[in-house]
Amino acid sequence: MRKFITYVIVIPLALIFIAFAVANRHFVTVSFDPFNSADPALAVSMPLFALIIAVAIVGVIAGGCATWLGQRHWRRAARRHEADARSLRAELAGLRATSRGPETRGLPAPSQGGFYGVSGRDKQGATL
Protein backbone atom coordinates (compact mmCIF):
# COMPACT_ATOMS: atom_id res chain seq x y z
CA MET A 1 0.00 0.00 0.00
CA ARG A 2 2.86 2.34 0.82
CA LYS A 3 4.45 1.77 -2.58
CA PHE A 4 1.13 2.50 -4.26
CA ILE A 5 0.85 5.84 -2.44
CA THR A 6 4.44 6.62 -3.41
CA TYR A 7 3.83 5.93 -7.06
CA VAL A 8 0.45 7.63 -7.33
CA ILE A 9 0.92 10.70 -5.11
CA VAL A 10 4.56 11.44 -4.27
CA ILE A 11 6.12 10.98 -7.70
CA PRO A 12 3.61 13.25 -9.54
CA LEU A 13 4.00 15.87 -6.79
CA ALA A 14 7.77 15.72 -7.17
CA LEU A 15 7.46 16.20 -10.93
CA ILE A 16 5.15 19.19 -10.42
CA PHE A 17 7.58 20.63 -7.88
CA ILE A 18 10.51 20.28 -10.29
CA ALA A 19 8.54 21.87 -13.14
CA PHE A 20 7.53 24.75 -10.83
CA ALA A 21 11.12 25.30 -9.72
CA VAL A 22 12.43 25.36 -13.30
CA ALA A 23 9.71 27.76 -14.47
CA ASN A 24 10.21 30.24 -11.58
CA ARG A 25 13.98 30.61 -11.36
CA HIS A 26 14.11 34.41 -11.51
CA PHE A 27 15.13 36.28 -8.38
CA VAL A 28 12.76 38.45 -6.37
CA THR A 29 13.57 40.84 -3.54
CA VAL A 30 11.66 40.29 -0.33
CA SER A 31 11.61 43.39 1.86
CA PHE A 32 10.91 43.38 5.58
CA ASP A 33 11.02 47.19 5.91
CA PRO A 34 7.47 48.63 5.71
CA PHE A 35 8.65 52.27 5.91
CA ASN A 36 11.26 52.46 3.15
CA SER A 37 10.39 50.36 0.11
CA ALA A 38 12.91 52.04 -2.20
CA ASP A 39 15.98 51.21 -0.07
CA PRO A 40 14.91 48.68 2.59
CA ALA A 41 17.07 48.11 5.63
CA LEU A 42 16.29 44.41 5.66
CA ALA A 43 15.80 42.69 2.30
CA VAL A 44 16.56 39.27 0.88
CA SER A 45 16.95 38.29 -2.79
CA MET A 46 15.99 34.72 -3.55
CA PRO A 47 14.46 32.66 -6.34
CA LEU A 48 10.67 32.85 -6.48
CA PHE A 49 10.19 29.10 -6.10
CA ALA A 50 12.32 29.10 -2.93
CA LEU A 51 10.20 31.90 -1.47
CA ILE A 52 6.93 30.11 -2.22
CA ILE A 53 8.21 26.81 -0.85
CA ALA A 54 9.53 28.51 2.30
CA VAL A 55 6.16 30.20 2.86
CA ALA A 56 4.39 26.84 2.39
CA ILE A 57 6.69 25.17 4.92
CA VAL A 58 6.07 27.95 7.45
CA GLY A 59 2.32 27.58 6.84
CA VAL A 60 2.42 23.82 7.46
CA ILE A 61 4.38 24.32 10.69
CA ALA A 62 2.00 27.08 11.85
CA GLY A 63 -1.01 24.88 11.05
CA GLY A 64 0.50 21.96 12.96
CA CYS A 65 1.15 24.16 15.99
CA ALA A 66 -2.39 25.58 15.87
CA THR A 67 -3.85 22.07 15.67
CA TRP A 68 -1.67 20.85 18.53
CA LEU A 69 -2.72 23.81 20.69
CA GLY A 70 -6.38 23.31 19.74
CA GLN A 71 -6.28 19.69 20.89
CA ARG A 72 -4.90 20.42 24.35
CA HIS A 73 -8.38 20.00 25.85
CA TRP A 74 -8.62 16.44 24.52
CA ARG A 75 -5.12 15.54 25.67
CA ARG A 76 -5.89 16.88 29.16
CA ALA A 77 -9.15 14.89 29.30
CA ALA A 78 -7.33 11.74 28.17
CA ARG A 79 -4.71 12.17 30.90
CA ARG A 80 -7.44 12.72 33.50
CA HIS A 81 -9.38 9.65 32.37
CA GLU A 82 -6.22 7.55 32.36
CA ALA A 83 -5.45 8.63 35.93
CA ASP A 84 -9.02 7.83 36.99
CA ALA A 85 -8.84 4.40 35.35
CA ARG A 86 -5.49 3.71 37.02
CA SER A 87 -6.83 4.64 40.47
CA LEU A 88 -10.01 2.60 39.92
CA ARG A 89 -7.95 -0.43 38.87
CA ALA A 90 -5.89 -0.10 42.04
CA GLU A 91 -9.06 0.22 44.12
CA LEU A 92 -10.57 -2.85 42.41
CA ALA A 93 -7.41 -4.85 43.05
CA GLY A 94 -7.58 -3.84 46.70
CA LEU A 95 -11.24 -4.83 46.96
CA ARG A 96 -10.52 -8.19 45.32
CA ALA A 97 -7.66 -8.78 47.74
CA THR A 98 -9.85 -8.01 50.75
CA SER A 99 -12.72 -10.15 49.41
CA ARG A 100 -10.42 -13.20 49.37
CA GLY A 101 -9.97 -12.86 53.11
CA PRO A 102 -11.01 -15.33 55.87
CA GLU A 103 -14.75 -14.80 55.38
CA THR A 104 -14.68 -16.39 51.88
CA ARG A 105 -13.00 -19.63 53.00
CA GLY A 106 -16.28 -21.31 53.98
CA LEU A 107 -17.91 -20.77 50.59
CA PRO A 108 -17.97 -23.61 48.05
CA ALA A 109 -15.71 -23.32 45.02
CA PRO A 110 -17.36 -21.85 41.91
CA SER A 111 -18.27 -24.35 39.22
CA GLN A 112 -15.66 -24.81 36.55
CA GLY A 113 -18.13 -25.14 33.67
CA GLY A 114 -20.01 -21.88 33.98
CA PHE A 115 -22.38 -20.52 31.37
CA TYR A 116 -19.67 -20.12 28.72
CA GLY A 117 -17.61 -23.18 29.50
CA VAL A 118 -14.28 -23.79 31.14
CA SER A 119 -12.35 -21.36 28.96
CA GLY A 120 -14.09 -18.22 30.28
CA ARG A 121 -14.73 -16.94 26.79
CA ASP A 122 -17.95 -16.40 24.85
CA LYS A 123 -18.72 -17.69 21.36
CA GLN A 124 -16.78 -14.88 19.66
CA GLY A 125 -13.74 -15.54 21.84
CA ALA A 126 -14.05 -12.43 24.03
CA THR A 127 -12.77 -12.80 27.59
CA LEU A 128 -15.44 -12.59 30.26
pLDDT at 31: 87
Q: Is residue 100 included in any domain, yes or no?
A: no
Number of domains observed in the structure of the chain = 1
**Would 10 be classed as within a structural domain?**
yes
Question: pLDDT, tens digit, for every residue of 10-68?
Answer: 889 889 888 988 888 889 888 888 888 788 888 889 998 888 889 989 999 999 999 99
- Domain membership of residue 22 (yes or no) is yes
Domain containing 13 equals 2-72
Instruction: Answer whether 44's CB lies under 8 Å from 64's CB.
Output: no
- pLDDT confidence of residue 70: 95
29 within some domain: yes
Q: For residue 126, is it within any domain?
A: no
For 61-91, letters b (16+ CB in 10 Å) and e give eeeeeeeeeeeeeeeeeeeeeeeeeeeeeee
- Residue 42 covered by a domain: yes
pLDDT at 79: 95
Q: What is the mean pLDDT of the chain?
A: 83
Residue 53 lies in a domain: yes
